[in-house]
Chain A
Amino acid sequence: MTAAVEFHAVSRHFGTVKAVDGVDLTIAEGSFFAMLGPSGSGKTTCLRLISGFEKPTGGQIRIFGEDVSNTPPHLRNVNTVFQDYALFPHMNVRDNVAYGLMVKGMGRAERYRKAEEMLALVKLDSYGDRKPAQLSGGQRQRVALARALVNEPRVLLLDEPLGALDLKLREAMQDELKALQKRLGLTFVFVTHDQHEALSMADSLAVFNEGRIAQIGTPQDIYDRPATRFVADFVGSSNVLPPEMTRALGGPAEWASLRPEATRLAASGPISGQVTALRYLGSGTRVVLDANGTEIAALVPAGQTVPAEGDMTAIAFEPGALHLMKGA
């Protein structure tokens, strides 16, 4: 399989600010790739490096093997769905979608036909005559998608496309996007700060921190085996154990992660403490206890007995569940 996008030691420095710093990255063709990280971690800059709105200050970017260092955005066969959608307010939906075809010189009848096809694909068949201001957020998002896809790009870039939508709509759109990507077989590169979104949609993802990639892998890799304490913290819900505790549990003096699902409550166990919080999740209850100053969470499946707040309890787990990682 060819690589759709390759980064070789790519940097983008703004003066002393290292927005992207020595990133190596390979995105496989036809994959759904997510870039995850907090704001300012460099993920959006990486996306803009692919689209051409930023130029690298070091390293090389290849798209389908072609060095794009000197290719301006409008000549890259890559399209973007912008975070604010960036629909042209003075054009109706049809003209927005047909825009890319128009600037390439396609005749009116043909580009309108293609635009209508694309609108049908995103289920907005009858909306061609409306202005963007007359659409809801979700509808605008689909128009932006159609406007990008009509150009038949080899890579589709999505910059936090679901960020502005409410929860229910976001979940529906996640499924739709995923289905669309499967159907078209296109490479999607997706920027998000929402770890659930990244984990649930991507085939593989990169976690960014301070301009560098902290970890790259499949969602399972990232979730089960976070490479660093940062990844474990950011991906969340996993227990992060300091070196002393790891050693007390019989491991080396290193940071480790312990997934709450891999634990169970026991009368006695290696970790014990007082219950400080309970959170009912439907499928189970998350029990948080204070173990000598470290917060540890355990997941109690539905139907089992849940201790009360203030009770003393202990946690047991399989030895293999403890995952060692780097401190940084």
Chain B
Amino acid sequence: MTSRATLPSRGLADQLTGLFWRRPGLLLLLLITPPLLWLGVVYLGSLAALLLQSFYSIDEFSGVVKEEFTLKTYGELFRAQNLDIILRTVLMAATVTLACAVLAFPIAYFAARYARGPWKAAFYLGVMLPLWSSYLVKVYAWKLILAKEGIVTWAAEGTGTGFLIDGLLSIPGLEGASLSTSPFGTFLVFVYIWLPYMILPMQAALERVPNSMLEASADLGATQSQTFWTVILPLALPGVIAGSIFTFSLTLGDYIIPQIVGDSARFIGLAVYQLQGTAGNTPLAAAFAVVPILIMLVYLTLAKRAGAFDAL
């Protein structure tokens, strides 16, 4: 029997494979066109529509949008009460992000470096579990936990530590009748809700730091804190940045939590929700919605300049 140098084609699959082998670009094109279309039309398209809306203005009485180009709506962003909203939101997002980072690091570090086998599974379960239950349920639960007649106040009174809560609630800017009506309550719930989004990328980043880096650092005479600041943190920074992008932008855009927990002062997300949903002021809502986009762009630029992505 003489064997041939080539095997016979078995049908369409072989022909297609051959085609893609000869023209590798074709397969790539086929694979990325649908998602690109999705991204282009649905995402960028809606973003463009949003931008367009923000250059319209609203007839203040009838609530009908006037479709003429104007910067008036952007001017409104600079009214004192709207600037308040923006500053309040950015401040909240920044503190929430910082708190998430500080809380998430030890957890992520433990998971990445020490947890093995069942501990690892327990870690993933513990971090992901809160993500499986309804977001609203969690927020309402927190409203009850933090309420004046809720479990935290009850426990504080029972242990004689009620003065701590009272002291906290008398700090200017954090005033409230209870944790549930104080901006501090809003902060706590934000931190709880977004924490997993910080832990997971951090853990992924820490897992990619080889153990030998840490040993090398110790070998060269670094204390553990020196190792943390000069090796671990810089190498985990892309993960920290990724996590902070989540927590920061999610806080910037959220409109449920400040509605349920806190002192009713508006945040950007709530303002957007009420302006477009309730007040029908889509242009101002759109202008407000552009703010987080700009803030995130600035944030990413600063992060890049600080070298956050150098270790990527």
Contacts and interface: CB of A to CB of B under 8 A. Distances in A.
Interface string A82-108: 111011111000000001101110000
Given A89-B235, A90-B311, A103-B230, A74 B222 contact: yes
A151 interface: yes
Given A79-B220, A103-B223, A103-B230, A73 B215 contact: yes
A209 interface: no
A142 interface: no
B81 interface: no
Contacts of B230: 99, 102-103
B210 A84 contact: yes
Most buried by B among A52, A86, A87: A86
B218 A100 contact: no
Contacts of B276: none
Contacts of A88: 213, 216-217, 231, 235
Contact of B219 (A80, A83, A90, A104): A80
B220 A103 contact: yes
Contacts of A103: 217, 220-223, 226, 230
A41 interface: no
A99 B212 contact: no
Contacts of A73: 215, 218-219
Contacts of B220: 74, 79, 99-100, 103, 147-148, 151
Contacts of A102: 230
Nearest to B233: A90
B310 interface: yes
Given A73-B215, A103-B230, A90 B310 contact: yes
B218 A86 contact: no
B130 interface: no
B223 A82 contact: no
A88 B217 CA distance: 9
What size tier do the contact residues of chain B reach? 20 to 34
Interface in A46-60: 51-53
Contacts of B217: 88, 99, 103
Nearest to A87: B216
B215 A90 contact: no
A100 to B, nearest CB: 4
Given A86-B216, A89-B235, A104 B221 contact: yes
B162 interface: no
Contacts of B222: 74, 99-100, 103
A53 B307 CA distance: 31
Contacts, number: 68
A102 B223 CA distance: 12
Given A90-B310, A103-B230, A74 B221 contact: yes
Contacts of B213: 86, 88
Most buried by B among A52, A87, A90, A147: A90
Nearest to B213: A86
Contact of B212 (A72, A86, A104, A151): A86
Interface residues of A, number: 26
Given A89-B235, A90-B311, A103-B226, A80 B221 contact: no
B218 A72 contact: yes
A148 B216 CA distance: 9
Contacts of B210: 84, 86
Given A72-B218, A74-B222, A103-B220, A89 B311 contact: yes
B280 interface: no
Nearest to B235: A90
Interface in B204-260: 210, 212-213, 215-223, 226, 230-231, 234-235
Interface in A279-294: none
Given A89-B235, A90-B310, A51 B212 contact: no
Nearest to B307: A90
A53 B235 contact: no
Given A89-B235, A89-B311, A90-B235, A84 B212 contact: yes
A38 to B, nearest CB: 21
A151 B221 contact: yes
Contact of B215 (A53, A75, A89): A53
A151 B219 CA distance: 10
Contacts of A100: 220-222
Given A89-B235, A100-B221, A82 B226 contact: no
A165 to B, nearest CB: 18
Contacts of A84: 210, 212
A147 B220 CA distance: 8
A74 B311 contact: no
Nearest to A48: B215
Contacts of A78: 219
A72 B219 CA distance: 9
A78 B234 CA distance: 26
Nearest to B231: A88
Contacts of A83: 212
B208 to A, nearest CB: 10
22 contacts: A51-B215, A73-B215, A73-B218, A74-B221, A79-B219, A79-B220, A80-B215, A80-B219, A82-B212, A83-B212, A86-B213, A86-B215, A86-B216, A88-B217, A89-B311, A90-B307, A100-B220, A100-B221, A100-B222, A103-B220, A147-B220, A151-B221
Given A74-B222, A88-B216, A151-B220, 5 more contacts: A51-B219, A52-B218, A53-B219, A74-B220, A147-B220
Interface of B: 210, 212-213, 215-223, 226, 230-231, 234-235, 307, 310-311
Q: Which 6 A-B pairs have CB atoms at the shortest separation, nearest pair first?
A: A100-B220, A86-B216, A86-B212, A103-B222, A73-B218, A90-B311
